[in-house]
Each structure stands twice: as structure tokens, then as C-alpha cells.
Amino acid sequence: MNRRVIFVRNSLAIMLAAIVGGSYVYFHGVDLPAAHAAPLATMVAAPTTATAPMLSTPTDFSGIVERAGPAVVNISVTGKAKRNADDTAEVDPNDPFSEFFKRFGPQFQQQQRAPQIMRGLGSGFIISPDGLILTNAHVVDGAQEVTVKLTDRREFRAKVLGSDKQSDIAVIRIAAKDLPTVQIGNPALMKVGEPVLAIGSPYGFDNTATAGIVSAKSRSLPDDNYVPFIQTDVAVNPGNSGGPLFNLRGQVVGINSQIYSQTGGYQGLSFSIPIDVAMKVEQQLLLHGKVTRGRLGVSVQEVNQALAESFGLKKSEGALVSSVEKGSPAEKAGVQPGDVILSFNNQPVDHSVDLPTLVADAAPGSTQKLEVMRNGAAKSLNVVVGEMKATKDGNGKNSGEPQGRLGLSVRPLDKDEQQQIGVHGGLLVEDVDGPAAVAGIENGDVILSLNGTAVTGVAQLRNLVEKAGKNVALLVERGDEKIFVPVNLN
């Protein structure tokens, strides 16, 4: 039987289901033998004691760990375990793509309607002395409570300032001053084979350092079109998510995000988000609360040698356009299937993965120059960049869509539903998260009032919650019963 190959976002190392029937999955780590430096070859031809030029030296990361370690934090989260639409779907176990990007954690048994509370761990690092921290979006996704623990054992409640699922970057803040920070490096200067160091909290073991080398750059992974990943062989495991990847100068060059594995644990293939990508996302999240990306509306593929010869290219380069969306900015600019895009905004496109990153960085509405190869001849096109719309989750809702302080997604009851229940107004709960989930609100409940005020509309409920204090009492109709449910909004 073929073994499944999965990509795993390496977070949520320790997750406990606060329900009967929940399970706890532990992936065993792997002890690797220490790598010994190869003996240096001596020059035997000349009668001297000189040795050949040293090609490599043993690497000591202790100075980096001592200086940068205090800026790496442990992140613990509490929230509701979400059930994906495909949790119960039957998938061919031999399909190598059946479990791409499943995150570490237990497989919850969905036999009860009660909200399921999960706890998890991740990592992060401080980028400003006043408590600004970078981590992965999937570490804090759906979290009702985020706690940051420093190496001096101080703990702080963190606020999520913004999160971008497409790049898997989140920005959080703690109320503290004069904190140690990391130095930011330039991933473009890295070379394949260069030593790198990761610090994080695998399986909850705080400030764990692991080392390896850069295995490859600009890796394209399924469903991650906007991130040219750094591939390493650094040991990265559940709980390392959101932690920094350092170069030999002690500068952060990436954020550890995923591993490639057949077992769910580390197997020598780790992937990090380049820090320059993360910092661009961080700036947009702080300034605008969201990330705006440019859009062309094309599907592209890598150009191999056979394709290069077929399309009249001197070498294998560029992004081959396989399809163009109707009415898209690319179609309006004259891009055609079969075009090979060689540059965008005067920036070379060596590999197909380069194009989405360049386009995403372009401002929507701006006019950019495209250099393409068509029928063996170079051609220049001007394209007005469009705007990438927010992605949607399995329920058809915009990912990252706020559900307010309560964490509820509701809709008004229609007249027939009001008559059946015997109420005037009321809001039907269609999805529940955050404080409401922790309090025990369920899908299908009908919200009748908040702190004694009858609820008749979504906007009214939102206004009531915004004006409320730390605690509210919801009157809920569930089946044939009406109950008051206290909700802590803190």
C-alpha cells in the first residue's frame, strides 16, 4: 500500500479536547546522529605543512541562541475546535494529495453538538520593544484567548492585531516595554547549503534550538501561490510554527511554517516563509487591518527544457500561461494562453513561482509592464493590475471575516420561523466561535435578547455588544426551552 504524503503546518503541539470522545495524538520525535566534520585533505605534493583551503568549518550557534533566544516566545491558544466540511468525507488513502496542509492535532470525533474547546501551542518572535510579535496565522486562527510566555517566565495576554491566511502570517501584541527583539535579515542573500538555525517550542519544549542548512529557495507548494518558501533540513516539529529561522549573522530570514512528511513528524523537509514576505504583510496589517494584493487572472506553469524548445526560448525560464480568465486584467491587456511571461514591472520571472509574488506586491489599479515571448518573438504589454478578492472558507464566508466580540454568525428569522417559534424578532445562530462557543452557544440556537433587550436585527445585536461590558447574558431558545447563557467577552 502506498504511504500518504502530507504537508503539515507544524503548530498546536499539545491539544486537548475538553469533550468526551476527543483524542490526543502524539507524534514521536526522531533522534538524529550528530554530523561529524569531514577531515581536511592535506597537500602531499609539496614538502610543507600547509593544508588545503578549508571548505567548511564547524558551526557554533551558541552566540545566536544567547542573544536572540530571549526574543523568541511561546504562544498558547484556547479556542473552539472547528469542523471542516470534509471531516467526514471519504478520501482515497493512497491519494498523495489527500491530506495536504492538515495541521498537527487530534482528530476530534464529531458526535456531539456541543462546542469543542481546543488548546494548542506555537511560537513567535518579538520585532519591536513595545511588544509587537510575528507568528503564523494558523497558530492563532480561531483562538479565543492567546497567551505569550517569555523566556524570563513572564506571561501576557496577547491581542491579535491582524491575520492573513494566504501568507500564513499574523501580528499580535502584548502590553510590555523594553523587550528584547530580533534582527531582520535579507533572504535574497542566502545561498543553498548555508547553515541556518531555528528556535521555537516543539511539543511545548520552550526555546529549543535546532540547526541545518538551506536545502532550496523559492519553493512553490500546493495552495500557497504567494509564498516562495525557503526549504531547509532543520528539525521542525509541532509547536515550532511561527518561530524564527536565523542565518549565521543571527538575523531572522524566515518564519517556520510547514513540514513535508509521511508520518506527521519531522522527516528532513521543512519550509519557512521568507521574512521579507512576512514584513510586507505585517506593514499592511498594521496600517489597514488587511492585506491587499494585485491580480492578473492567469494560470501559469513552470517552463522545462522541452517546453522552452517548443516556445522558442533559449533557456528554461519564465512562466508559461496555460489559461486566461475571461474579463481579467490579463485578458484586457492582450495576454494569451501560450505566452511565456519573462518579466513583470521590469523584474525578471525566472520561475513560474516568481510571478504570483511580483503581481501580489503590485498596487491594484497600477499599470505594469509585461514582457512576454509569443510565437518565438518578444512582445511588450501594459496591464492594469486588478485586486485579489478575499478567499473564502469551506462555508463560503470570507476567510478572516470578523464575527464581533461574541463570535457569532447570525441571520434574522423569517416570518414563518417566527410564527413557528412564537416570537417577534430573534436571530438564528448559523456559526459560533470565540466567547459564544466557550459559553456553550450552539448552531441552531435562537438569540432572543441581550441583557434584557429584545434582539430584532443583526446590526442592533452588534451595537448592543459593542456597548456592553465584559459580561453579557443572552436569552436563547433551544428546542422547546428558553435559557439564559452568560458570556464572558473579555
Spatial distance between the Cα atoms of 174 and 460, rounded to a whole number of angstroms = 32
296 residue type, one letter? L
| DSSP of 147-168 | EEE-TTS-EEEEEEEEEETTTT
What's the grid cell of residue 348? 525578471
**Are residues 410 and 461 in contact, defined by beta-carbon separation less than 8 angstroms?**
yes
- A 10 A CB-CB count for 431 gives 15
283 residue type, one letter? Q
Spatial distance between the Cα atoms of 182 and 125, rounded to a whole number of angstroms = 7
Q: Is 168 a catalytic residue?
A: yes
Spatial distance between the Cα atoms of 167 and 278, rounded to a whole number of angstroms = 8
Spatial distance between the Cα atoms of 35 and 329, rounded to a whole number of angstroms = 52
Burial call 456-469: b when 16+ CB within 10 Å, e when fewer: beeeebeebbeebe
Q: Which residues, in sequence order, are CB contacts of 459 under 8 Å at separation 6+?
A: none
Residue pointed to by grid coordinates 520525535 = 29
- Nearest Cα to 272, choosing from 207, 228, 223, 208? 228
Catalytic one among 141, 164, 168, 354? 168
Catalytic one among 11, 76, 123, 138? 138
Q: Is 310 a catalytic residue?
A: no
Catalytic one among 215, 241, 261, 449? 241
- A 10 A CB-CB count for 320 gives 23
Strand ranges (E), 304-433: 319-324, 340-344, 347-348, 367-374, 377-384, 386-387, 408-412, 427-432
Spatial distance between the Cα atoms of 118 and 489, rounded to a whole number of angstroms = 18
- Nearest Cα to 474, choosing from 451, 445, 490, 454? 451
Residue pointed to by grid coordinates 456597548 = 467
360 residue type, one letter? A
Which run of H or E residues covers position 282? helix 275-288
Q: What are residue 119's DSSP bridge partners?
A: 78
Q: Is 361 a catalytic residue?
A: no
Q: Cβ-count burial of 448 within 10 angstroms (0-12 exposed, 13-18 middle, 19+ buried)?
A: buried
**Catalytic site positions:** 138, 168, 241
